[in-house]
Chains A and B, each alone.
Chain A
């Protein structure tokens, strides 16, 4: 599915464009509640994954590729790998600012949920934002 910028994320993005609010590194987190992103969401809308081996990933500013054709992508695919028995059903991911914790955007996987059950189960995401 497409990225969803909620109202708070849209306003934050606009303020960063005009340098009213300083940009921060972003943190990508998986969520395990059955949420379809909406424009009234905040970070609290999402329940973060807890499977063994899971850890949120910081996306550092310098590691994004140069924007091209109205899109910007992270330089490397990010992998969340399970390291033991688990019961999480993953529906998507959400991205927050590293310091403020404010939700910027989220995305539900089109074929959600992905059942994380055993060691070695992995979810791979290449963060990409399109402006078109």
Chain B
């Protein structure tokens, strides 16, 4: 009985509640980085929202179009996404820079 009374008149005890907070995903964006947007290879030119990207022709490696897109529309390019003629580094080096397969 005393226990029940104590519980009734005691301060509310904090209750631990587990809340599902979505992870805040941050990426290590950098200027000059190869990205993919709408399935096309591009180079990240400014890091902002929207950010400036330059789409690159897969055969010539030259710029085809300049666009401003939400940064959430980008993903880092994979090794195979980068135009071959623009690959001045080895696959190993590319992996170190995050361009995995």
Q: Using a CB–CB distance below 8 Å, which chain A residues touch chain B? A: 1-2, 4-8, 33-42, 44-45
Known contacts A2-B31, A38-B34, A44-B88; A7 and B43 CB within 8 A of each other = no
Q: Decide if A37 touches B61 in the complex (CB within 8 Å).
A: no
The answer to the question of B24 belonging to the interface, with a C-beta cut-off of 8 Å to chain A, is no
Contact bitstring B1-41, A, C-beta under 8 A = 1, else 0: 00000000000000000000000000000111110000000
| A38 contacts B62, C-beta separation under 8 Å | no
Tell me the dominant secondary structure on chain A's binding face. loop
Q: How long is the Cα–Cα vector from A1 to B43 in the complex, in angstroms?
A: 13
A to B CB contacts below 8 Å, 13 in the list: A6-B32, A6-B88, A7-B89, A8-B88, A34-B63, A35-B61, A36-B43, A38-B32, A38-B33, A39-B30, A40-B82, A44-B88, A45-B88
Q: Is A42 a contact of B88 with CB atoms below 8 Å?
A: yes
